[in-house]
Structure 1
């Protein structure tokens, strides 16, 4: 049987759209004034931009650049000499 896709669709329940008053009334009924907050959500777990981090200590060990490494002039990452693509401009293979 052929289907006419251009014909308007008829549904079993062609109810009119609810009015604005009905929508706002049903919305007020379903909303709860209680905020659902978990115990793990504390203010200490959030870091604010520009916060004072002077009391913090590094947890990463920083190793100086070795003699067989170079710093890419494009991405500023330290790579091994085997990743050097352009000797004159000191570019890594990813940036070249």
Structure 2
């Protein structure tokens, strides 16, 4: 539940002063606050798993592995040399996989 820390706080003796009608009215106000969404907009913005993306084109620049980087033999991610934990028989393992 969100709390407004800037609003004045009620003292313990003030808490008992709220009448039952005030409390019910507040609860009714909170229940009536709903979000009105246009269903057609919602349906267009949703993308389902397994959707056909064959007509979509993705373009990005691929940078080759640099001289100060290595590929971990367990997770197959490219890391900086500072992340090298062990190098046994050409099997380079990063610190994260070695832990």
Q: TM-score, normalised by structure 1?
A: 0.49
Larger Rg computed on CA atoms: 1
Higher helix share: 2
Normalising by the residue count of structure 2, what TM-score does the alignment of the two structures yield?
0.48
